[in-house]
Amino acid sequence: MSIEARFYLDRGAFTLDVDLTIPAQGVTALFGRSGSGKTTILRCLAGLERIAKAWLTFNGEVWQNEQFFLPVHKRPLGYVFQEASLFPHLEVKRNLLYGYQRIAKEHRRIQLDEVVSLLGLSELLTRYPEALSGGQRQRVAIARALLTSPQLLLMDEPMASLDASSKGDILPYLERLHDELSIPVVYVSHSIEEVERLADQMILLEQGKVLAQGTLQDLLSRTDLPLAHSEHASAVLEGHIGAHHEADHLSEVVFNGGRLWVTEQARAIGAPVRVRILARDVSIALTPPQASSLLNGLEVRLLEISADPHPAHIILRLQVGEQILLARITQRSCKHLNLAPGQTLWAMIKGVAVSG
């Protein structure tokens, strides 16, 4: 099951021309620079943009084609905007009940208590919006959208207006939504850090067109795409908590191909985790290094050597188990080590960020 869409919109200065396939599960991120068409696509999915050249099906059900247009209010979706837009004269609980009570009991797929627990709202129910922080307001807005029991959740840069502290407040709750709810989410963002923490799939956009779409891990590591050559080029490895070492305040993340030491995690043994590794934090050795302060070393196979925008650097595409790692090193180091695709190497990692 999936969302299939074809949208064409010509506004003179901007043209949207996309074919999309979005899985009906997990989080799919629409990612690109400002003006690439992310929000326009979201509005087309919602039916807020009624354009003549459009075709959209949701799990086989036609929402729009040349002869038919399903109105916004009949599309079973929730929409979370950049600004929370709560009713200022209603406490949090009454804001939540506004949409919930308009859904027939037999059609309620998500219950009030479930959402309150999931988004940590129990202590906020009697407060008014003006007494909430930005992150708290956005959590209430997400909860309100969920309580309409949507079959699809659209999120338009929900953290764009938040400061760093508020983003840190809301991200763990978004990760819980990802882990615990089966509702497909289309998530618009221009922050690659958000996307790497939350998304399963990515649609990469540029000037109203799709550059690529696929799994997050694949698009991050493809050297024919701009992400692998950006200043913040990185890879995401997925594993699980293998052990905790309380004396050192460290935890081990285990995956097929090795293990990584990370700062101590408040997660159960076996809990899935995602780690983000910046390409600039990976160095290369021909043999396992001895007597090094770097705790993390992975045996890898060199798949590809690619040019980098900076003439002094190159990008290495490395295979670790069944996953991909990127390393940005100097041309001089590459020549000194005589690197070539197919070699078995050691990737020494300076920094590992647990993402979710």
Name all domains of the chain by residue range, CATH numbers in brackets. 2-221 (3.40.50.300), 234-354 (2.40.50.100)
Distance of alpha carbon 6 from alpha carbon 20, whole angstroms: 6
**Which residue has tokens 């995956």?**
255
Q: What is the pLDDT of residue 217?
A: 95
Residue 331 has pLDDT above 60, yes or no: yes
User: What pLDDT is attached to residue 337?
Assistant: 96
The residue among 234, 252, 256, 232 whose CA lies nearest residue 244 is 252
pLDDT band at 356 (very low <50, low <70, confident <90, very high): low
- Average pLDDT of span 101-130: 89
pLDDT for 223: 94
Report percent pLDDT > 90 for the chain.
69
- Per-residue pLDDT, 324: 96
For residue 271, what are the CA distances in angstroms to 130, 165, 239?
37, 26, 9
Quick one: pLDDT at residue 179? Answer: 81
pLDDT band at 270 (very low <50, low <70, confident <90, very high): very high
- Quote the CA–CA distance of 146 and 182 in Å, as a whole number: 12
Per-residue confidence (pLDDT) for residue 52, from 0 to 100: 87
Q: What is the pLDDT of residue 210?
A: 97
Average pLDDT over residues 309-333: 96
Choose between 105 and 44: higher pLDDT: 44
For residues 333 and 81, what is the distance between their CA atoms, to the nearest angstrom?
A: 47
Q: 66-70, 122-126, 264-268, 310-314 — which is least confidently predicted?
A: 264-268
Look at residue 205 and tell me whether its pLDDT is greater than 70: yes
* Helix ranges restricted to H, the chain: 38-46, 92-100, 112-118, 134-146, 164-180, 192-198, 216-221, 331-337
Chain segment 49-90, per-residue pLDDT in tens: 888 899 999 999 999 998 999 999 999 999 998 888 899 999
pLDDT of 168-194, one tens digit each? 888 888 888 888 888 899 999 988 989
| Predicted pLDDT at 289 | 80
Question: pLDDT of 30-58, one tens digit each?
Answer: 999 989 999 999 999 999 988 889 999 99
List the single range of 168-182, 248-262, 325-339 with lowest mean pLDDT.
168-182
Q: Which of 89-93, 121-125, 173-177, 214-218 bottoms out in mean pLDDT, i.e. has the lowest? A: 173-177
Average model confidence (pLDDT) for the chain?
A: 91
Q: What is the pTM of this model?
A: 0.90
What is the reported pLDDT for 294? 81
Q: Show the CA angle centred on residue 307, arms to residues 301 and 312, nearest 5°.
A: 105
